[in-house]
Amino acid sequence: MDLLTANSDRITRNYLDSLLIETRYIDSTLADSHMELFGERFDTPIMTAALSHLGNTAPDGMKIYADGAAKAGALHWVGMGSYEELEEIVSTGARTVKIVKPLENNDEIIKELKHAEDAGCIAVGMDIDHAFDGKGGYDNVFGIPMKAKTAKELKNFVESVNIPFIVKGVMSPSDAAKCVEIGAAGIQVSHHHGMIDYSVPPLMALPGILQAVDGRIPVFVDCGFESGMDVYKALALGAKAVSIGRHLMPLLKDGSDAVADRIKDMDAELRGIMCRTGISDLSSMDPSVIHKTLY
Catalytic residues: 192
User: For residues 85 and 110, what is the distance between their CA atoms, to the nearest angstrom?
Assistant: 18
Which residues touch 102 (CB under 8 Å, ≥6 apart)?
A: 109, 126, 127, 128, 130, 131, 146, 147, 148, 149
User: For residues 201 and 224, what is the distance between their CA atoms, to the nearest angstrom?
Assistant: 10
Residues of 235-266 as b/e, b for ≥16 C-beta within 10 angstroms?
bbbbbbbbbbbebbbebbeeebebbbbbbbeb
